[in-house]
A = this chain, B = another copy of it.
Amino acid sequence: MSAAQPKAELKPRDPDWDAKVRASFARQTFMHTIGAHIASLSPGRCEVELPFRHDLCQQHGYLHGGVITAIAANAAGYAAFSLMPANSSVLGVEYKINLLGIGEGERFFARGSVLKPGRTLSVVRAEVEALRGGVRHPVARMLATMMCMEGRPEPGLEVRA
């Protein structure tokens, strides 16, 4: 009576998508500052890895929620960017994150997955896990909106002359 719809195809529109995403990530000084890197990348998916460090913590000695959010948002943003055309940039419109467990572990993985690619807006989910004693524990879930700025300055944002 009803059939599952074929998955939204996650086809990159820029043949240079892999190098483009990695180059953009590399320009983010904040990722260098906290020691995060891209662990894996495929069209519509991006995984960011972050080793735990004691200078990235909240008041109880666990990874700070802001750091958790930063790697989740980056994984989401670059998952979306991997599908965007050449001559475009990606802008984070908004995101919402639920913190599911404490930021305790030896390393953290944030995985972004595009739910709905769009010409202007893409909807992306991300999940963060902590690797603790060899087991992955859920840390956070995010639902995010990313925007594609194609061949033009970022709309809706102020640009300094």
Contact = CB atoms under 8 A, between A and B. Distances in A.
A82 interface: no
A101 B135 CA distance: 37
A160 B133 CA distance: 11
Nearest to A91: B99
A118 B137 CA distance: 15
B73 A98 contact: no
A65 B73 contact: yes
A10 to B, nearest CB: 14
Residue of A1, A94, A143 with highest tally of chain B CB at under 10 A: A94
A2 interface: yes
B157 A66 contact: no
A95 B100 CA distance: 12
Interface stretch (A11-19, A23-31, A39-47): A23-31
A56 interface: yes
A96 B145 CA distance: 11
Contacts of A2: 131, 134-136
30 contacts: A2-B135, A2-B136, A3-B134, A5-B129, A5-B136, A27-B58, A27-B59, A27-B60, A28-B58, A29-B54, A29-B57, A30-B66, A65-B73, A66-B66, A66-B74, A67-B70, A93-B99, A93-B121, A94-B98, A96-B97, A98-B145, A100-B116, A100-B123, A101-B116, A102-B158, A116-B156, A119-B156, A122-B156, A123-B141, A145-B145
